[in-house]
Structure 1
Amino acid sequence: MLPHLDDLLGTARVVRLPMRSRFRGITVREAVLFEGPEGWTEFSPFVEYDDEEAASWLHAAIDFGWRPQPAPLRHQIAVNATVPAVAADDVPAILDRYPGARTAKVKVAEPGQTLADDIARVRAVREIVGPEGRVRVDANALWNVDEAEHAIHALAPFDLEYVEQPCATVEELAEIRVRTRYMDIPIAADESVRKASDPLAVARAGAADLLVIKAQPLGGVHTALRIVAEAGLPVVVSSALDTSVGIAMGAFLAAAIPELDFDCGLGTVAMFDQDVAVSPLTPVDGVIRVERPEVSPAQLDRLSAPDDRRDWWLDRVRRCYRVVERTTAL
């Protein structure tokens, strides 16, 4: 049963969180928080997403706020550091935000930058984490197959744990996986799962070695767990620049997966200057806690979005609710 729209809007708080570094082209992250019977929950699809795509994020918010979550199999989650497409000289300061993290995910293929920039950034990360650390790269589907093969070959000397979404389509992922097999570097799928009409298509096609799973885009913890079970591939649970509330949703998902062999991308609260929680879910000794954070009323007020942005988000909630209402009834 869906909660009534008035129940969502009645507790909705729209917030703006300033970021420490530019990431995904933004310096401020906006989100809507609701307080349901299970606790606080989050709706924060990126502003460019249409209502059909954003509706899955609202379904996830309802799932986390109005439905009991699976019992956790673990009470803390090891997380990776996230390194934006910064200059190599800025890498040490970024990694300092993730104390104890043994794994770093490095953004590559940034528009306006070159492969040389990527190599310098990845080299700087490898030098800091040392030979025992784990380094993964994420191209966000911005290479074609030839570019991906060239780039992966150039980055291979840095002992990559895996390459995330090097190309856009399932067919391209399958091809690059074959082309780079001799380098023994796994291919991970992210956008081909969370932005696909069929999130299992990449697994069926044998186009990836592992999947990156995010609770909000996939419709919530329960839906994501079904996808993990049906895919039959190793997974990494990640986030989408969430507040501590959204990160908690990801942590509950990660805690319910029986086999979790990879460090998760759930340390991204460290990318914000401020957060909504009394005790933010930032990494400590390389892990975050599996818990619903206590939300600070003072922080909600301090981070409150201007009226025009609040109205924009609440109107978006109304539109997406109609989509959820329609698809749930099918």
Structure 2
Amino acid sequence: MSTSRLQPKELTDHRLRIGNRSVTLVEGPAGWGECSPLAGYPCDPTRARRAADEAATLPWPAPVRDRVAVNALVDGAGFDPDALRGFSCVKVKVGYPGAVEVVAAVRDAVGPRVALRVDANGAWDVDTALARIGALSRYDLELVEQPVPTLDELAEVRRRSPVPVAADECVRDTAAAHRLRALAAADAIVLKLQPLGGFRAALDVAAAAGVPAIVTSMMETSVGIAAGLALAAALPELPYACGLATVPFLDGDV
């Protein structure tokens, strides 16, 4: 077993400022795993290490596809339109003042054929979410990720929203995934390997939720991204682009 460290640059999503953080890379008979919990983001470090150990020591899930579509990410007003070219989907972080204008600018930059998704990271209450989604719906949104913090709130938003919604931070185990299914709380679920605890836990959560899954990174190095791609390739269905094109946000890689 071996470990390594590197330093990513800052990424700002108008709520978190990500600076340097420790990254532990684990080498084992199956390859490499990554443990890199993100300060300020809900991720049990024990689960993150479990995900890394599993990737390094156990067989990776068998793929059912050889291609995985990925989305571009816009995290604020200062985006580069050229960086969005070639993507079939763009995700915009929202939940901050001026987000509607950013979404409008992105839609104008990419045109009508590119899917547009927004992510509030649970920043809104139900009434605010419905008002913001209503204002944003004119830009032909594919999906709104985690508009509100809890599953009960998400179910209420889904019942009244003109745009499909996805669960992320409010589902971190199969019990929550089963509850999501019982409440009909979401149209899709976001899977992140480290918070869920590895491949098998993520696949179990996806199966329990009973809705399409989207695999997304936690700003990992290429080691973590490779594991995310393996998870995405193993899912029974993958109708949405995945949030795995994030290595360019790092100041270095392995």
TM-score above 0.5: yes
| Per-residue Cα deviation, 1:217-259 (whole angstroms, up to 9, x for no partner) | 1111122112212221111111111111111111000000121
Residues 1:82 and 2:73 are matched in the alignment: yes
What SS does the corresponding residue of 2:233 show, helix, strand or coil? helix
Shift of 1:40: 1.7
3-state SS of 1:247 partner: helix
Name 1:42's counterpart in structure 2.
Answer: 34
Query: Structure 1 residues 97 and 245 mapped into 2: Cα distance closer, same or farther (>3 Å)?
Result: farther
Q: In the alignment, which of 39, 45, 52 is matched to residue 54 of structure 1?
A: 45
Given that 1:60 and 1:216 are in contact with CA atoms closer than 8 Å, whether structure 2 keeps it comes out as yes
Shift of 1:46: 1.9
Match of 1:207 among 165, 177, 185: 185
CA RMSD of aligned residues (A): 1.9
Maintained 8 Å contact 1:36/1:65: yes
Q: Is the 8 A contact 1:102 1:129 kept in 2?
A: no
Report if aligned partners of 2:60, 2:230 keep a CA contact under 8 Å in 1: yes
C-alpha deviation, 1:82, in angstroms: 0.8
| Residues 16 and 196 (structure 1), Cα distance of their counterparts in 2 relative to 1, 3 Å cut | farther
More helix by percentage? 1
Deviates more, 1:97-106 or 1:203-212: 97-106
Q: CA deviation at 1:99?
A: 4.6
* CA–CA separation in structure 2 for the residues paired with 1:192 and 1:186: 16
Q: Choose 1 or 2 for highest CA Rg.
A: 1
**Pair 1:195–1:96, CA change in 2 (3 A):** farther
Answering whether residue 234 of structure 2 is matched by residue 256 of structure 1, we say yes
Distance 1:30 1:100, change over 3 A: farther
**Which residue of 117, 120, 135 maps to 1:139?**
120
What SS does the aligned partner of 2:121 have? coil
Structure 1 residue matching 2:191: 3-state secondary structure: strand
Distance (Å, rounded) in 2 between the aligned partners of 1:146 and 1:28:
36
1:179 pairs with 2:160: yes
Q: 2:3 aligns with which of 12, 18, 24?
A: 12
- The 4+ residue runs of structure 1 with deviation greater than 4 A are none
Aligned pairs (5 A) from 1:191-230: 191-194=169-172, 198-230=176-208
Residue of structure 1 equivalent to 2:144: 163
**One-letter amino acid of the structure 1 residue matched with residue 90 of structure 2:** A
Once residues 60 and 145 of structure 1 are traced to their aligned partners in structure 2, the CA distance between those partners, rounded to angstroms, is 33
Paired residue for 1:31, among 18, 23, 30? 23
Residues 78-108 of structure 1: per-residue CA shift (max 9 Å, x gap): 1000111x22xx22x1x53455111011001
1:106 is the counterpart of 2:92: yes
Q: Does 1:64 align with 2:42?
A: no
Q: Whole-Å Cα distance in 1 between the matches of residues 174 and 41 of structure 2?
A: 13
Q: Distance in 2 between matches of 1:96 and 1:264?
A: 20
* Aligned-partner Cα distance in 2 for 1:143–1:80: 23
> How many correspondences in the alignment?
252
Does the CA contact (< 8 Å) of 1:33 and 1:41 recur in 2? yes
- The partner residue of 1:188 within 147, 159, 166 is 166
CA distance in 2, matches of 1:49, 1:31: 15
Equivalent in the alignment of 2:222: 244
Q: 1: CA distance between counterparts of 2:201 and 2:216?
A: 15
Structure 1 gap ranges (5+): 1-6, 277-330
SS at match of 1:46: coil
Q: Deviations over 1:157-215 (max 9, x none)?
A: 000001110001111111111122xx2x1011001113896343222211111111111
Which residue number in structure 2 is paired with residue 268 of structure 1? 246
| 1:34, distance to aligned residue in structure 2 (A) | 1.4
Superposition deviation, residue 275 in structure 1 = 1.2
**How far does residue 71 in structure 1 lie from its aligned partner after superposition?**
1.8
Alignment partners' CA distance in 2, 1:96 and 1:269: 17
Seq. identity, %: 44
